[in-house]
Structure 1
Amino acid sequence: MTKEPINARGTFTPLGVSRSSERVSRAVGESLRHYAVMEDLKHQADLALKAWSGAEAGTLVHCTAAAITLSVAACMTGTDKALVRCLPLPTGGPSKVVLPAGHNVNYGHPVRQAIRLSGATPLMVGEADACSEGDLASALKAPDICALLLVHSRLVEGVTPSLAAMISLAKDQNVPVILDGAAQDFKVAELVALDPDLLLLSGQKYLASPTAGIVVGKAEMVAAVAAQESGIGRGMKASKEAIAGVLAAIEERQALDLADWAQDKAAKLAAFLERANLLPGVTAYAVADPTNLPFERACLRLPCEAAPIIAALKASNPAIWVMEDRASRGEILLESVMLSVAEEDLILQRLAVLLRDC
C-alpha cells in the first residue's frame, strides 16, 4: 500500500500544499453540514481579512492564480458592470500589464498566462537575469498600461530593484500595483506597508487553510476584484467551506505568538541538523529563506551526486520529497516547518541507507 508522502519540500502544490489543523478541519467540516447566506459569509471574511492584514479591505477568490487573473481584470474594469461582463474581450481601455521578466514565475503555468486569461497582454520588461529601474520606468510610461505585476517569492529570478522602489515607480505614473506574495502570509503587515493596490496571498500555504486566494488592499480595487464574480470570476469564486477554513486559520494565526513559534522551529531544525551531521560524509547546516520568512531550512551537502539520492528518496514508500534547487551543487534542501519528528526520523533513516552506496 502506498503511504502518505513525506513533504520536506515546503508548501508545494503537487503534494497538496499543507496540512490543516484540527480546528480548521472542524470548521470546514461543520460548514459543509449547513447552508449559508454567501453574501453574509463573504462579508464576514472581508472584515476578518481587513483586521488581520491591516489593509483597507479584503476578499477571497478560489486560489492565488485566480487572484492574479481577477486582479488584472479589476485594473481594466473597476466596478463597471458593463466592462466586467465584457471580459475577456477588449474593454476599450488600457490592457497591458508590466511584468519584470524574472517575475514570470512558473507555478504550474507561468504568471503571464494568468494575465492573459483576463484578456490583458503581459509586457515583459528586462531579461530573466536582470531588470533595471530604467527598464521599468520606461515601460510604465508606455501607452495602454493598466497595471504593474510583481511577484515576491523565492522562485523569482535575476536582479531587480527592491519591491519598494518598483512600487514607487508605478505610483509616479499612477499605475496600479498588484503584488503576488502567495507564500508570504507571515509577512502580510510588512507587504501591506509597501502600499501595493492589491496584495495576493495563498490561504493554503503557511496559513494551512483550504485552497483560497486572499486579496487585500485598497478598498476600491478590492471591490473591483469582487465585482468580477459577475463576469470571468464566476468560475473562480471561493466556496463556503474555503471561507470557513480561512476564517478559522486567520483566528489561529492571530492567536499565535510568532516569536515563540519561530524559536520552537529553530530548536527543532537544530536538532535535525545535529543528527544529519552524523550521516556518513554529510555536512548539514541551516540556510535562511531568501524572502526572509521567519524560519530556516536544512541544507545537506552530500558526499555524492544529489540527483540519484533525490530520485531514490522520491521512489521510497513513503515517498520523500525534498527541494531540488541545489542538486547541481551536490546538496539537498529540506523544509522541516510542517514535518513531524517521526517523519524526520524516516528521512534520516532512509538517507543513511542510500548513502552507504555513495
Structure 2
Amino acid sequence: MASRSVAAVIAGTQLTRIERLPDSEGLHNEIVLQKGHAVHFGASITQMIALGGGKAMEAGHANHVEKRHLMEAITDRTAALMYVKSHHAVQKGMQSLETMLSVAQEHKIPLIVDAAAEADLRRYTAMGADLVIYSGGKAIEGPTSGLICGRADLIEACRAQYKGIGRAMKVGKEAIIGLLTALQRYGTREETAQAQKQRMGWLIDQLTDINGLECRLARDEAGREIYRAELRIDAQRLGWSATELMKRLEGGDPAIYTRHHYANMGILQIDPRPLLPGQEQVIVKRIRELAGAK
C-alpha cells in the first residue's frame, strides 16, 4: 500500500508515467519523512517508497526532528510527505502529525499517513491527511490485504497503478471477500480497552509471586487504546533471559508468541487481542511451569 500510494503521488493517472515506474528519473519523486520514521516493520519502509518510484528524504535525526528540518527537506522535487503512525517508529523527539499536516498544507504537498495497525479508520482523513494506509490483517482482523483512504483524485491515481506496479500486488478474490467481510464486522466486537485491562490484570496477578518477574499493565507505546501485560525479566533470579523465555514459549505445545521488540532489554509483552477467551490461563500455566512455580 505504501508503494502504491507513493506511485500515485508521483505518476498520478498519466499512463506513460505509470508504466515507467519505479523509474522516476526527472519526475517529482522525493518523499520526505522524519528520520525516526524510516523504520523496518518486517520490511524497510524506505524500500517500499523506492518500489513506488520514490526517493526517501530523511529529515532530522533518529531521536530529534524539528519543524525546520522538515521545511528544509522540501524541494521543487518533493512529491509528498509521509508520516508513520506505528509503535515501530521512534516516539521520542519526533514532530507530531499535526505539524506534518501544517507543513504539507503550507507547501500544498500531499501527506501520506501509514496507519497500518491503527484502529480508527476515519480519524486521519478527518484531520486532513491526503492518503491513509491501513492493513486489512491487523486491527481490522481480516486476511493479508490492505486499503487506502483519502482524496478522491489520489484514490483514483492509486487505482490507476493497477496498470503499473500495482499489477504485481494483486490479492485474490478470496482475500477481497475476506477483507470486505472483516470491514462489515468491524466495530461490532465486544472487547473494549476495559476488557483488555481486566484480562491482562488477571494474568499479571497470577504471575506476581514468581521470583525474577516484574509484571505491570502497559499501554501501547504509540498511544493506541491497547493494554498489554508487560513482563520484565531478571535473568539471574528467574534462570531464563527474556530471549530464552520467549524461545521456550514459542517452542511449547501450544506455541505461545509474545511481543518481543524489547527482549534485548529483558522485556516481553502479552497482547490480549489475538487471544480467545480463556487462553490467558494457558499462558499463565506455561510461564509458571518454566519458572518452576507451583
Q: Residue type of the partner of 2:192?
A: W
Match of 2:201 in 1: 270
* SS across alignment from 1:333: strand
Residues 351, 255 of structure 1: CA spacing in aligned structure 2 closer, same or farther, 3 A cutoff? closer
Question: 251, 265, 269: which one pairs with 1:333?
Answer: 269
Identity between Structure 1 and Structure 2 (%): 29
Letter in 1 for 2:154: M
- 1:88–1:327 distance in 2 versus 1, CA, 3 Å: closer
Which residue of 2 is the match for residue 6 of structure 1?
none
Give the corresponding residue for 2:245: 309
Contact kept, 8 Å, 1:284 with 1:298, in 2: the verdict is yes
TM-aligned CA deviation for residue 233 of structure 1: 0.8
Corresponding residue for residue 238 of structure 2 = none
- State the match for 2:77 in structure 1: 144
Query: Which is richer in helix?
Result: 1
Corresponding residue number in structure 2 for 1:183:
117
Pair 1:119 & 2:53 matched: yes
Q: Residue 148 of structure 2 contacts residue 155 of structure 2 at CA under 8 Å; is this kept in 1?
A: yes
Aligned to 1:44: none
- The corresponding residue for 2:220 is 289
TM-score (norm 1): 0.75
- Superposed counterparts of 1:1-358, under 5 Å: 67-90=1-24, 92-140=26-74, 142-157=75-90, 158-184=92-118, 186-256=119-189, 261-304=192-235, 305-356=241-292
- Equivalents in 2 of 1:268, 1:299: separation in Å? 13
Secondary structure of 2:147's partner?
A: strand
| Superposed CA offset, 1:17-49 (max 9, x none) | xxxxxxxxxxxxxxxxxxxxxxxxxxxxxxxxx
Q: In 2 relative to 1, CA 108–256 (structure 1 residues): closer, same or farther, beyond 3 Å?
A: closer
- Larger mean CA deviation between 321-330 and 190-199 belongs to 321-330
Q: Given that residues 196 and 228 in structure 2 are in contact (C-alpha distance below 8 angstroms), is that contact kept between their aligned partners in structure 1? A: no
Q: How many residues were matched structurally?
A: 287
- Is the Cα contact below 8 Å between 2:199 and 2:280 reproduced in 1? no
Shift, 1:348, TM fit: 1.5
Give the Cα–Cα distance (whole angstroms) in 2 for the partners of residues 192 and 231 of structure 1.
26
- Judge conservation of contact 1:187–1:293 (CA < 8 Å) in 2: no
Q: Taking structure 1 as reference, are residues 129 and 356 closer, same or farther at Cα in structure 2, changes over 3 Å only?
A: same
| Alpha-carbon distance between aligned partners in 2 of 1:120 and 1:249, rounded to the nearest angstrom | 31
| Contact 2:21–2:165 under 8 Å retained in 1 | yes
Q: Partners in 2 of 1:144 and 1:316 — Cα distance?
A: 53
Going from structure 1 to structure 2, the CA distance change for 1:325 and 1:107 (only over 3 Å counts) comes to: closer
Q: CA deviation at 1:214?
A: 0.9
Show structure 1 runs of 5+ residues with no match.
1-66
Deviation at 1:296, TM superposition (A): 0.5
Write the distance in 2 (CA, Å) between the matches of 1:194 and 1:212. 24
CA contact under 8 A between 1:280 and 1:352: conserved in structure 2?
A: no
Conserved? CA contact 1:151–1:180, under 8 Å:
yes
CA RMSD of aligned residues (A): 1.9
| Counterpart Cα distance in 2 of 1:256 and 1:337 | 11
Aligned partner letter, 1:210: P
- The farther-off stretch of 112-121 and 85-94 is 85-94
Could you list the runs of 4 or more consecutive aligned residues of structure 1 that deviate by over 3 angstroms after TM superposition?
254-257, 278-281
Task: State the distance in 2 between where 1:79 and 1:212 align.
Answer: 23
Cα–Cα, structure 1 residues 307 and 255, in superposed 2: closer, same or farther, change >3 Å?
closer
**Which structure has more RCO (C-alpha within 8 Å, separation ≥ 6)?**
1
The answer to whether the Cα contact below 8 Å between 2:32 and 2:81 also exists between their aligned partners in 1 is: yes
Partner of 1:3: none
Shift of 1:320: 2.0
TM-score by length of 2: 0.91
CA distance in 2, matches of 1:314, 1:247: 32
**Structure 2: which 5+ residue stretches go unaligned?**
236-240
The CA distance in 1 between the partners of 2:132 and 2:148, in whole Å, is: 6
Mapped partners of 1:320, 1:348: distance in 2: 11
